[in-house]
């Protein structure tokens, strides 16, 4: 059986930050949070999301090479990481920001229609790096032939793994350009991006180098509530696309539905939203019947006496096929240009099986502790990297989204021969081109008119001191309009992060590292 070299994660996620030199690596094993210290390096502020000067650290996407062996059916039978100790690895990354030439979210046509596309697309070109502990090398492009835009940096760790850092969260415009819209602002650019990651692997003593199966990297805004998950993650969304391609991933009659692995994550994420959303607290806060974490003994049981409780929850869900259901809509009635939130078809099918009692009641009494990447069997590590990166991202609704656009729901953008991978022939910048420009304007409007967009990524209300539901964004620079959008462009890095803290034996999710200037 032939050995192939593959880059993992298949889709890596980097995030912007205004710290000039400090960074951390994003999640690398399902259920684990990011490692908040720079690998192989000292930090002025270990264990925090901001540096000693209160600037947000960039999140790096770390890529590894795996030598993989599959059997005739395509099942992975062996996998081991290949590092600089046995090979020379030349990495190549091509980042592009095409937002200024991307499609308008409101109306038809593209943004900046009166300008040539060549002046709007910020293309850093292919950038290469090889070796161990290589210092960061910046990737630059140009906007409107006037602005130099740094889309990110490349560096390597002590094992020769690649780390991609994004931009510094700097959004800029031509002189005098207003910021009226949450998504379509002509004359503006930011420093998010996406593009392919490639590698040539030359084993010591081998006659020639071999190309590894490529990956993709996305540079996104920060995740301001990392311990809290989305009800539909980007992994869920991509898995659903893959299930349409591969029946083995779909929920068939023979498929096992596990309460612990498939049902509990949905119930947990819904119940935890009350930490970052006052609206969610009204429905799913502690003490209420819809706070599912306080009903796990009942909800994890497959006994018929609990079927009514299970079915009541399921029947409230909106069907991904028909849109029918009592699940609260995002957006609100004032923003009905996007479809309401639904689970994916795979998630919905699993919940349907659970409601009817056809599931494994395997709840151990408490949430299983996550395993570090090194604790997993070697054959599970490649996909664990894939999943961990996407689990920490929004899987919908895409209006336009946080990390990527709804293009991720289109089967045509994926590599036909490699599951969970973007087609390497896709143009760099495609996934983020439809996103808001600049991203801060959309971030500012996420709770306008009663909407409750993506609170597990961009909190609406948080616990600050003794206040349970304090506004996360200061009221004076929250909401639509040029001046308030500008405030977010200028001050986004002053906002705090939601972190988990144990108080009197109980886990609480509280805001820290908030430094708002007058």
Residue 18 within any structural domain of the chain: yes
Does 463 fall in a domain?
A: no
H, E, C per residue of 272-316: HHHHCCHHHHHHHCCCCCCCHHHHHHHHCCCCHHHHHHHHHHHHH
pLDDT score of 329 more than 90? no
Least confident of 142-151, 338-347, 350-359, 401-410: 338-347
pLDDT in the model for residue 69: 94
What range defines the domain where residue 210 resides? 3-223+397-447+481-490
User: Tell me, what's the pLDDT at 314?
Assistant: 95
Whole-angstrom distance, CA of residue 190 vs CA of residue 172:
7
Q: What is the pLDDT of residue 46?
A: 75
pLDDT digits (tens, 9 = 90+) for 87-129: 999 999 999 999 999 999 988 999 999 999 999 999 999 999 9
Check residue 415 and give its pLDDT. 97
Percentage of the chain lying above the pLDDT 70 cut: 94
Instruction: Classify residue 326: in a domain, yes or no.
Output: no
First to last CA, the chain: 64
Whether the ω angle into residue 438 lies within 30 degrees of 0, i.e. cis, is yes
Closest CA to 396 of 217, 240, 275: 240
Considering only residues 42 and 489, tell me which one the structure prediction assigns the higher pLDDT.
489
pLDDT tier at 399 (50, 70, 90 boundaries)?
confident
Q: What pLDDT shows up at residue 280?
A: 84
The confidence score (pLDDT) of residue 293 equals: 93
Q: Give the side-chain half-sphere CA count within 13 A for 241.
A: 22
Interval 396-417 mean pLDDT: 94
The packing angle between helices 234-245 and 345-355, to 10°, is 90
What confidence score (pLDDT) does residue 4 get?
95
Asked whether residue 308 is domain-assigned, the answer is no
Listed residue (152, 147, 219) closest to 187, CA to CA: 147
pLDDT of 271-313, one tens digit each?
A: 999 999 988 888 888 877 789 999 999 999 999 999 999 999 9
Per-residue pLDDT band at 448 (split at 50, 70, 90): low
Q: Is residue 468 part of a domain?
A: no
For residues 125 and 141, what is the distance between their CA atoms, to the nearest angstrom? 8
Summarize pLDDT for 177-225 with one digit per residue, the tens: 999 999 999 999 999 999 999 999 999 999 999 999 999 999 999 999 9
* pLDDT, greater one: 239 or 337: 239
pLDDT score of 505: 83
- Are the beta carbons of 361 and 353 closer than 8 angstroms? no
C-alpha span between 305 and 301 (Å, rounded): 9
* Average pLDDT for 68-91: 94
- HSE (side-chain half, CA atoms, 13 Å) at 111: 26
pLDDT score at 334: 41
SS3 469: strand
**Higher pLDDT, residue 380 or 287:** 380
Please give the tally of structural domains in the chain: 1
Q: What is the pLDDT of residue 481?
A: 82
Q: What is the dihedral of CA 20, 163, 49, 439, to 10 degrees?
A: 80
Of residues 125 and 318, the one with the higher pLDDT is 125
Tell me the range of 278-287, 428-437, 459-468 where mean pLDDT is highest.
428-437
Q: Work out the pLDDT band at 164, boundaries 50, 70, 90.
A: very high
Average of pLDDT values for 506-511? 92
Residue 358 falls inside a structural domain = no
Question: Quick one: pLDDT at residue 42?
Answer: 60
Residue 209's contacts (CB-CB under 8 Å, 6 or more residues apart) are 88, 90, 200, 201, 202
Q: Average pLDDT of the chain? A: 92
**Angstrom distance (rounded) from CA 143 to CA 385:** 34
Tell me what pLDDT residue 335 has. Answer: 46
Dist. CA 476–CA 421, nearest whole Å: 42
Higher pLDDT, 211 or 342: 211
178 within some domain: yes
pLDDT at 63 over 80: yes
Query: Is residue 86 a part of any domain in this protein?
Result: yes
Q: Over 60: is that where the pLDDT of 343 sits? A: yes
């Amino acid at each position: 059986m032939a050995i192939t070299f593959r880059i993992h994660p298949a889709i890596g996620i980097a995030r912007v930050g205004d710290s000039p030199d400090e960074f951390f690596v994003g999640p690398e094993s399902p259920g684990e949070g990011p490692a908040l210290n720079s690998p192989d390096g000292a930090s002025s502020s270990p264990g925090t999301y901001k540096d000693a000067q209160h600037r947000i650290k960039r999140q790096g996407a770390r890529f590894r090479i795996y030598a993989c062996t599959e059997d005739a059916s395509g099942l992975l039978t062996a996998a081991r990481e290949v590092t600089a100790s046995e090979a020379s690895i030349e990495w190549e990354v091509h980042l592009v920001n095409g937002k200024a030439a991307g499609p308008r979210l409101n109306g038809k046509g593209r943004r900046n229609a009166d300008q040539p596309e060549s002046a709007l697309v910020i293309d850093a070109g292919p950038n290469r790096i090889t070796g161990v502990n290589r210092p960061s090398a910046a990737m630059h492009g140009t906007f409107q032939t006037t602005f130099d835009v740094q889309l990110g940096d490349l560096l390597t760790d002590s094992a020769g793994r690649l780390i991609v850092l994004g931009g510094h969260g700097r959004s800029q415009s031509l002189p005098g350009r207003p910021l009226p819209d949450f998504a379509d602002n002509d004359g503006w650019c930011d420093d998010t991006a996406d593009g392919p990651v490639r590698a040539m692997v030359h084993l010591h003593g081998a006659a020639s180098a071999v190309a590894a199966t490529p990956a993709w990297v996305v540079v996104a805004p920060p995740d301001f509530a990392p311990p809290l998950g989305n009800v539909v993650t980007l992994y869920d969304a991509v898995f659903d696309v893959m299930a349409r391609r591969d029946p083995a991933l779909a929920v068939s009659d023979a498929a096992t539905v596990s309460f612990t692995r498939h049902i509990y994550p949905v119930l947990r994420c819904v119940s935890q939203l009350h930490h970052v959303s006052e609206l969610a607290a009204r429905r799913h806060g502690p003490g209420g019947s819809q706070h599912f974490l306080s009903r796990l003994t009942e909800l994890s049981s497959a006994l018929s006496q609990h079927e009514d409780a299970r079915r009541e929850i399921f029947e409230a869900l909106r069907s991904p096929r028909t849109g029918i259901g009592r699940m609260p809509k995002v957006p609100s009635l004032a923003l009905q240009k996007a479809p309401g939130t639904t689970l994916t078809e795979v998630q919905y099918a699993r919940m349907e099986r659970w409601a009817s009692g056809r599931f494994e009641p395997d709840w151990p009494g408490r949430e299983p502790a996550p395993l570090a990447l090194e604790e997993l069997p070697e054959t599970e590590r490649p996909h664990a990297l894939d999943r961990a990166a996407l689990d920490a991202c929004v899987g919908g609704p895409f209006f336009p989204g946080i990390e990527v656009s709804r293009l991720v729901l289109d089967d045509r953008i994926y590599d036909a021969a490699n599951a969970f991978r973007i087609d390497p022939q896709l143009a760099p910048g495609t996934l983020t081109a439809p996103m808001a420009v600049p991203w801060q304007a959309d971030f500012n409007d996420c709770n306008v008119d009663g909407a409750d967009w993506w609170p597990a990524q961009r909190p609406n209300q948080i616990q600050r001191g003794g206040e349970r539901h304090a506004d996360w964004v200061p009221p004076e620079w929250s909401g639509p309009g040029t001046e308030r959008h500008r405030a977010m462009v200028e001050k986004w890095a002053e906002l705090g992060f939601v972190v988990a803290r144990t108080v009197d034996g109980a886990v609480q999710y509280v805001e820290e590292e908030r430094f708002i200037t007058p």
